[in-house]
Amino acid sequence: MNSEIQLQPGPVMLDITGIDLTETEKEMIAHPSTGGVILFARNYYSPEQVSSLVDNIRACRKGPLLIAVDQEGGRVQRFKQGFSILPPASYYNAAFPHSEHDAIEMTESAGWLMAAELISVGIDFSFAPVLDIEAGISQVIGDRAFAANKDQVCSFAAAFRNGMKQAGMAAVGKHFPGHGSVALDSHLDLPKDPRTLDDIRQHDLVPFWHLIQQGLEAVMTAHILYPEVDDKPATYSQRWVSDMLRQELGFNGVVFSDDLNMGGAAFAATFGERASLALGAGCDMVLICNNPDAAADILDYLPIVNNLESADRLVTMLHRTTYSRDELFASARWQQTAGLLNQHSNNLIA
Selecting among 185, 187, 189, 199, the annotated active-site residue is 187
Cβ-Cβ contacts under 8 Å for 91 (sequence gap 6 or more)? 74, 143, 344, 348
**Contact between 172 and 128 (Cβ < 8 Å):** yes
Catalytic site includes residue 258: yes
Q: Which run of H or E residues covers position 259?
A: strand 254-259
Selecting among 15, 193, 230, 258, the annotated active-site residue is 258
Q: What b/e sequence results for 93-114 when a residue is b if at least 16 CB atoms lie within 10 Å of its CB, and e otherwise?
A: bebbeeeeeebbbbbbbbbbbb
**Contact between 5 and 62 (Cβ < 8 Å):** yes
Cα 58 to Cα 52: distance, rounded to the nearest angstrom: 10
Start-end of H helices in the chain: 23-30, 47-59, 91-95, 100-119, 150-167, 197-202, 205-213, 238, 271-281, 292-301, 308-314, 325-330, 332-349
Cα 309 to Cα 322: distance, rounded to the nearest angstrom: 26
Catalytic site includes residue 179: no
Count the Cβ atoms, other than its own, within 10 Å of residue 333.
14
- Looking at residue 134, the DSSP 8-state letter turns out to be P
Cβ-Cβ contacts under 8 Å for 216 (sequence gap 6 or more)? 161, 171, 173, 208, 251, 253
Cα 29 to Cα 32: distance, rounded to the nearest angstrom: 8
- Looking at residue 1, the DSSP 8-state letter turns out to be -
Query: Is the bond leading into 303 cis (omega within 30 degrees of zero)?
Result: no
Q: What b/e sequence results for 292-328 when a residue is b if at least 16 CB atoms lie within 10 Å of its CB, and e otherwise?
A: bebbbbbbeebeeeeeeebbebbbebbbeeeeebeeb
Active site residues: 187, 258
